[in-house]
Each structure stands twice: as C-alpha cells, then as structure tokens.
Amino acid sequence: MKAAVYQSYGSPSVLKIQNIAKPELKANELLVKIAYSTVTSGDTRLRSSNFPPLFWLPARLIFGLFKPKKQVLGHEFAGVVAEVGSEVKNYAIGDRVFGTTTMLKGGAYAEYVALPEKWKNGVLAHLPKALDFQEAAALPIGGMTASYLLEKAQIKAEEKILIYGASGSVGSFALQLAKHKGAIVSTFSSASNFSWLKALGADALYDYTDFDFDNFSEGYDIVLDAVGKLGKSRAKSLLNKGGRFVSVEMLTKERENDLKELGNLAAAGHLKAYIDRSYTLSEIAEAHRYVDSGRKRGNLLIEIV
C-alpha cells in the first residue's frame, strides 16, 4: 500500500512516499481504508522531534531515541472499515468510521491502518450519517482537546471566556463549543483571522500582534490558551477572582464519548471543522511545511489517494 514514511527526524523532506506492506490484522483489530487524514501540530512535532527541552529525552525514549518508532504519521482520520478480526464486535465491513491512531504502530498517512476496537490512548467511533469524511477527519484531535479543556474549566452558560490563539485547530473548536454552551467568548488572534472567527461566533475580537495587556481592564471567568503562548502569569492577570486557567500545555485525554459528541454536534450543524487547505498524500511534505510556518488556520486535510 501507498504511505508517507519517515525514517529519521527532521524537516518535511524526511517524509517519503513509499509502498509498504498492508498491516496484518490481529483478531481484536479492524482494518480501515483511510479517506482523509490531517496534519496536526502533533504530527509536525513528532516529525521534527521538536520537544520542549525538559521533555526532550523522555519524549525520545517514548517515540524512538535514534529514529522514530512510528514511521507513518497521521494522528486522525476518517474512512471505511475494510476488514474485521474475528473478535471485533461493534464494527462491520463497510462501516464509516473516524478516530485517532494515538500510540499505535501505524498512522493514517497510508491507504490502510489497523486499529483495535478500543485501546488506552486513542479512540474510534462510527461516523454519523450526515457527516462527510473531510469534515470528520479534522474533528478528533483539536475537537477532543478543546472539549477536555472546557470541561476541566467547568464552563457554564453566561460565563465570560477568553480564548487565546483562537485561529488554530484547538482554538477554533473551543470557540464554537464554548458558544454552544452559552458562554460569552472573546478571542485573541491576528486581525487577518477576525472575519471567520466572527462568523464562528466570537463576541469580541482582539489582535494579539498589537495589544497592550498592561492597560486592559476586562476580566474573565475562564482563560483558555489554545496555542500555549500566553504564559501563566499573564493569563492569571486576565482572570476574575475564582477564575480558571486551562492550556493546551496541560495533559489531556482522548475520550470516546467526546468524539461521539463532536460527531453529533457537527452532524447537527452546531460545529464546523474549519479547513484551511487540502493536499493529497503525495503533497505531504508541502503540507507539513505549511504547518511548520505556524500560520495554519483551523485544520489541514490530507486526501489519501
């Protein structure tokens, strides 16, 4: 099968299109024919081994000290079940599914991936009828991270939340989910992203490239740093008494119920994965280059053709 493989850490040029063996299925696994994957910030981080200094060694011990253990990236996907192992109970050939490949051997930059029905770190679910593959492929990672952080912040209707870095994947999902819960949402992004963030529901928009935090008197019940660049002390200075700060730098969990909920919200038209650009698998290096630029808006699709 065709796949984008990387055998050493480095720039996007380490990603090579190759023919590799189709995964062999274990009894508890299903084989998914991938329709779409994405390039998440996590994919580029693993490719480049760009881990924070304190976590560099532990990360390399987990992901491969001298070369990557998981040589096919692609942490989220949507596709169709092509084969099922004898112990698989809840999926059948032809089912439309979406999910993640977190901590599995194989990734979704390939024609096929083998996944267990359930495993500790990642999730898989059926795709609601009204949802297409493009939209579904971009929901899991950013959507589940946003859901987890909003739940951790115990968001309630009428509360004021500030989303810093609302133009990324996590940020644009957090904005929509917070609005859906009835919160009043302010966003920080560059001015070039104002119009689509306003269309997603932002109540007040601020430009992070031209902003005087020291003379800003607004207070928030929740500050959610969706790009990990605000800093804890600045975030705390923006909180009302008893306010809560959450950030993408915190450990988060992928939860099946969150994935199902995201699918249902998207199918009902309450949530939209903003797609900045689409590439084919053979353009994967170019797609990674764009994400490396740090300017990605929302999500980047990869069509597996």
Ligand X SMILES: NC(=O)c1ccc[n+]([C@@H]2O[C@H](COP(=O)([O-])OP(=O)(O)OC[C@H]3O[C@@H](n4cnc5c(N)ncnc54)[C@H](OP(=O)(O)O)[C@@H]3O)[C@@H](O)[C@H]2O)c1
Q: Closest separation between CB of residue 63 and ligand X, Å?
A: 14
Residue (188 or 220) nearer to ligand X, CB = 188
Residue nearest to ligand X (CB): 168
Q: Closest separation between CB of residue 44 and ligand X, Å?
A: 8
Residue (10 or 213) nearer to ligand X, CB = 213
Q: Closest separation between CB of residue 250 and ligand X, Å?
A: 6
Q: Closest separation between CB of residue 29 and ligand X, Å?
A: 24
Residue (169 or 186) nearer to ligand X, CB = 169
Residue (16 or 216) nearer to ligand X, CB = 216
Q: What does the block give as tokens for 209?
A: 């490239």
Residue (190 or 282) nearer to ligand X, CB = 190
Q: Closest separation between CB of residue 88 and ligand X, Å?
A: 27
Residue (156 or 295) nearer to ligand X, CB = 295
Q: Closest separation between CB of residue 54 and ligand X, Å?
A: 15
Nearest to residue 43, comparing CAs of 276, 305, 296, 225?
296
Q: Closest separation between CB of residue 148 and ligand X, Å?
A: 8
Residue (120 or 241) nearer to ligand X, CB = 120
Q: Closest separation between CB of residue 120 and ligand X, Å?
A: 15
Assign residue 165 a region: left if phi > 0, alpha if psi is -120 to 50, beta otherwise? left
Q: Which amino acid is at 228?
A: G
Contact residues toward ligand X (CB under 6 A) are 40-42, 45, 141-142, 145, 164-165, 167-171, 188-190, 192-193, 208, 226-229, 248, 252, 294-297
What are the C-alpha distances in Å from 38 to residues 16, 298, 300? 16, 11, 5
Residue (101 or 145) nearer to ligand X, CB = 145
